Amino acid sequence: MVAASGASFCTDIKVSHFKEVIGIQWFISWNPAVIQFDSLAIPVATRPFLASTNFGTLNTAEGELRHVWNSNSLASLTLPDSSSYVTLCFTAVPTRIDASTSLKVFVSEVIQFPEQVSNLQTVYGEVKVIGDSSVGNTDLNRNLIFNIDSATLPRGENGRLLIRVDSLIHIDKLFFDIHWNPNVIRVNGSPDGYRHFSWVSNDGLFLENGSVISPLFFQAIGRQSSSTNVTITNFYATSTDGDTIAWRTNGGMVNISENLSPLNELALPRQGDEASENTLLDKIVLFPNPASERIFIQHEGNVEISKAVLLNGAGKRLETFLEPTAFSTTKLVPGDYFLLLTTNEGVISKRFTVQR
């Protein structure tokens, strides 16, 4: 493809042998000195399963984009050969000399539904991941551990892990990590005994009370009397009303509310337009990293964040960040906090609570 300096163009990422897929993870890279990323579009064929929120930008200025998708296991995705999975659009960077770049796609994992489902001998416990306020925090504040041994799942047989959502609210995002002994059970694409599971609502599909997800299909490979724990850690979940986000850290829990603060200093839609305010709220998401106790600030579309001000629950200014991408919570004592964000589309606030 040849593009004039400053011209925009789009290209399709196409697939082959894409059958009964329930999860995929890949990276794409390019030379940012030659082209810059503009946007992406989801084809109609994949739209019931995918959304732009499944694409996490990793240093698009550096020429990298990541895609992670997991089905809610109620349905798989099959596409005809040569069909488009996603369309990516770029702009050629003005340059004085001829320049070129390749779009390199690295597929790190593809999870397909087992062909011989009838051979699936064992289903491991339905577990409450999220409950109401009296139950959910308790469940989220500890790891979930399952034991798999050769007595219940003989060598060579297949199994799967089921997790049941027990919730009074609709779940639109769910993330967690899974760990196991790879010498006892084999999971395709995860030889090191680790998988990160992510599920994001698309086109109104959400997890509700009684929904079941299957984040792990595996085969027993251990010898007689072998066993392994399957441990689920680092939960992160959000509800469709934006009211509660919860995630687990070694030191306790951090709950984040998407609601605007009632403090006068923070009631800040730039034009007083509630619809545009809510749209801007949707474009900025706080993603915590339990391992580092940092909260990352992700923004979508053309939103640019010039400044963030951290305030305590009383509205006292604690710290100011210019062009923020993340901040640490390690020095924050338990209590309510507000993050005041100044953007090119207006000013909003995010509230979060630290519990240790």
Number of domains in the chain: 3
Is this structure's pTM higher than 0.75? Answer: no
Question: Given pLDDT bands bounded at 50, 70 and 90, which one contains residue 239?
Answer: low
112, 136, 152: which is the final residue of a domain?
112
314 shares a domain with 203: no
Mean pLDDT (the chain, rounded): 66
Residue of 281 and 312 predicted with greater confidence: 312
129 shares a domain with 78: no
Pair 94, 129: CB distance under 8 Å: no
Residue of 55 and 80 predicted with greater confidence: 80
Buried b (16+ CB within 10 A) or exposed e, 166-193: bbebbbbbbbbbbbbebebbbbeebeeb
| Residue 208 tokens, joined | 């509700």
| Residue 175 tokens, joined | 């993330």
β-pair partners for 117 = none
Q: Is residue 245 in a domain?
A: no
d(CA 315, CA 334): 15
Question: Given pLDDT bands bounded at 50, 70 and 90, which one contains residue 244?
Answer: very low
Q: Is residue 248 in a domain?
A: no
Question: Given pLDDT bands bounded at 50, 70 and 90, which one contains residue 139?
Answer: very low
88 shares a domain with 189: no
User: What is the arithmetic mean of pLDDT over 233-258?
Assistant: 46
267 shares a domain with 234: no
Q: Is residue 141 in a domain?
A: yes
103 shares a domain with 51: yes
* Residue entry with tokens 């919730």: 167
Q: Which residue segment(s) compose the domain that 45 sits in?
A: 8-112
User: What is the arithmetic mean of pLDDT over 39-50?
Assistant: 73
Q: Is residue 125 in a domain?
A: yes
72 shares a domain with 175: no
Question: Given pLDDT bands bounded at 50, 70 and 90, which one contains residue 10?
Answer: confident
Q: Is residue 2 in a domain?
A: no
124 shares a domain with 93: no
Q: Is residue 88 in a domain?
A: yes
| Residue 167 tokens, joined | 């919730």
349 shares a domain with 319: yes
CATH of the domain at 214: 2.60.40
Greatest mean pLDDT range, 113-122, 202-211, 219-228: 219-228
231 shares a domain with 134: yes
pLDDT in tens, 284-327: 777 766 666 778 787 777 778 888 888 776 566 788 888 777 88
Q: What is the largest CA-CA distance in the chain?
A: 69
267 shares a domain with 326: yes
Q: Is residue 246 in a domain?
A: no
Question: Given pLDDT bands bounded at 50, 70 and 90, which one contains residue 216?
Answer: confident
d(CA 289, CA 335): 19
66 shares a domain with 162: no
CATH of the domain at 347: 2.60.40.3080
Q: Is residue 150 in a domain?
A: yes
User: What is the arithmetic mean of pLDDT over 26-41?
Assistant: 80
CATH of the domain at 48: 2.60.40.680
45, 80, 112: which is the final residue of a domain?
112
Answer whether residue 86 shows pLDDT above 70: yes
215, 239, 263: which is the final residue of a domain?
239
User: What pLDDT is attached to residue 209?
Assistant: 61
Least confidently predicted of 13-22, 148-157, 199-208 = 199-208
142 shares a domain with 227: yes
User: What pLDDT is attached to residue 100?
Assistant: 72
